């Protein structure tokens, strides 16, 4: 009997040891898996590091590339395109002005009434879809359709038979080689348009002919892109505005430059002594940018590899996809997210607004994170610590983007001597410099709707410039530069201001 009891006891002990060994084994394997995932995160954090020293190197690189782009065509990754806009709205403009915003499958027409003294802006706006057949047909058909819509819009508010010529600002968000403030040649169509007979033809002229055929006494007085419109709108509200940045799905910047600094166009004269330069800064590149393996893969798989490198690191089109790529790598390294979801292999499955919602989820259990992972990426039922890991990934990607955008802004300020570093000689400190108030207009959903992005950008501006200088730099939010801004430019380039630019 004793032997039987002893045998049972031994058996139980062996079983207990086996169970304990299994539990310990599982814990060890779990720790190893978690360690691998944490290793991926740490590697990514190090690759995305944006110390103040590194950001200042990006600032310097941006300023150098701006100089190079102004010196010669093709001299820089920055195109530094002349806009021929030499007169920004001052707030004293009076009258009724119109705008047409064409940049996608819809177009908008606007009417703005200005009363001087920086009057409040309350534009009348109508939006219309463009019939699909007109996006691939003949240019005459497209512009006749737009002219008819403009005619009907004008007819609701003003007399279409008036002998007074109405002025129109035309925002055309497609690649154009500008030839004057009111003319430019289409380089290529994007966004689903494929009207062959318009390529390498003058854009504003085609619209003007359609307006004439319709019998509408309206003149296209400016042809601009949305970034230039944002600068105009910012300057209308605040005369210290010297630059504009759009940070949304895409990104771009423009700024006010002295004409004598535009070396590639020697002999350029403007009455104002300056001109707006469209940087096309999405194409900026420098070896100082903190690039990761995820950025390299995204670029290689994109329709435009080795192009728009800066945009791919800071704009809303790409941030969500960078996060997706990191989560995929972690899923392949470990089962912390469960079996690898097939949706993780689909580019742009995770859109940036959803990434932002996860990043800013402040619920104790991160319920938004859990919902988005389940609904969008088909990753259900992951533990809280894995959800926290996702939030951290979002934070790293967003922080890098916002801080690089800030460095880009300071690069512009450095180029035009508004960063507080100009004129420093031996023995003088930055605080000794007389710093002028400087405003930068910013538009775009990434900045206006993503609180963490905005806070990180401002934090970086303060760190790069230093508090003494940063308090003189103001970021102002504008809304609808592509519409209202274009109407304001039509006003500032009305008849008394036409022919301000000469080539000698």
Give dist(CA 325, CA 5) in Å, integer: 59
Give dist(CA 481, CA 479) in Å, integer: 6
Question: Residue 398 corresponds to which tokens in the numbers above?
Answer: 């967003």
Nearest alpha carbon to residue 403 among 455, 359, 449: 455
Do the Cβ atoms of 100 and 142 come closer than 8 Å? no
Expressed in angstroms, the distance from the first to the final Cα of the chain is 117
Burial of 476 (0-12, 13-18, 19+ CB in 10 A): middle
Q: What are phi and psi of 135, to 5 degrees?
A: -80, -15
Catalytic residue of the set 226, 295, 299, 480? 226
Q: What are phi and psi of 10, to 5 degrees?
A: -65, -40
- Strand, coil or helix: what is 465? helix
Question: Residue 429 corresponds to which tokens in the numbers above?
Answer: 């400190």
Q: E strands, 422-466, where? A: 438-443
Is residue 226 among the annotated active site residues? Answer: yes
Query: If you ran DSSP here, which 8-state letter would residue 432 be given?
Result: G
Catalytic residue of the set 94, 188, 191, 385? 191
Q: E strands, 130-267, where? A: 166-172, 176-180, 183-186, 218-224, 241-247, 251-258
* Residues assigned a catalytic role: 191, 226
């Amino acid at each position: 009997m004793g032997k039987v009891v002893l045998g049972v006891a031994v058996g139980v002990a062996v079983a207990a040891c086996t169970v304990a060994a299994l539990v310990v084994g599982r814990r060890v394997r779990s720790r190893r898996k978690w360690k691998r995932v944490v290793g991926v995160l740490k590697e990514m954090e190090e690759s995305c590091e944006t110390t103040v020293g590194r950001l200042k190197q990006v600032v310097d690189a941006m300023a150098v590339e701006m100089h190079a782009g102004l010196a010669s065509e093709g001299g820089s990754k920055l195109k530094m395109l002349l806009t021929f806009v030499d007169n920004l709205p001052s707030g004293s403009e009076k009258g009724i002005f119109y705008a047409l915003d064409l940049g996608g499958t819809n177009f908008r027409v606007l009417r703005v009434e200005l009363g001087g003294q920086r009057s409040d802006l309350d534009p009348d706006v109508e939006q219309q879809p463009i019939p699909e057949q007109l996006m691939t047909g003949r240019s005459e058909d497209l512009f006749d359709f737009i002219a008819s819509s403009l005619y009907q819009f004008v007819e609701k508010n003003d007399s279409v038979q008036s002998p007074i010529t109405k002025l129109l600002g035309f925002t055309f968000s497609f690649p154009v080689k500008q030839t004057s403030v009111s003319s430019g040649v289409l380089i290529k169509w994007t966004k689903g348009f494929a009207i062959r007979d318009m390529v390498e033809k003058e854009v504003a002229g085609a619209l003007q002919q359609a307006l004439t055929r319709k019998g509408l006494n309206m003149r296209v007085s400016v042809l601009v892109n949305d970034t230039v419109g944002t600068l105009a709108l910012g300057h209308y509200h605040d005369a210290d505005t010297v630059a504009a940045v759009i940070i949304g799905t895409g990104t771009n910047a423009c700024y006010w430059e002295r004409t004598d600094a535009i070396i590639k166009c020697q002999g350029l004269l403007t009455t104002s002594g300056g001109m707006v330069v469209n940087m096309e800064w999405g194409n900026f590149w420098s070896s100082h940018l903190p690039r990761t393996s995820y950025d390299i893969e995204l670029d290689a798989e994109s329709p435009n590899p080795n192009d728009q490198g800066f945009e791919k690191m800071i704009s809303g089109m790409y941030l969500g996809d960078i996060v997706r790529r990191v989560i995929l790598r972690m899923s392949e390294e470990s089962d912390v997210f469960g079996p690898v979801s097939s949706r993780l292999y689909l580019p742009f499955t995770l859109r940036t607004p959803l990434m932002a919602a996860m990043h800013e989820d402040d619920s104790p259990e991160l319920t938004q994170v859990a919902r988005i992972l389940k609904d969008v990426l088909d990753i259900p039922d992951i533990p809280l610590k894995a959800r926290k890991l996702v939030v951290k990934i979002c934070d790293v990607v967003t922080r890098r983007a916002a801080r690089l955008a800030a460095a880009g802004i300071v690069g512009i300020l450095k180029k035009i001597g508004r960063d507080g570093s100009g004129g420093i000689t031996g023995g003088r400190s930055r605080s000794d410099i007389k710093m002028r108030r400087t405003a930068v207009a910013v538009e775009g959903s990434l900045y206006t709707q993503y609180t963490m992005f905005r806070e990180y950008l401002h934090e970086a501006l303060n760190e790069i410039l230093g508090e003494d200088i940063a308090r003189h730099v103001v970021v102002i939010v504008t809304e609808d530069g592509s519409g209202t801004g274009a109407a304001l430019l039509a006003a500032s380039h009305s008849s008394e201001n036409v022919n301000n630019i000469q080539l000698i």
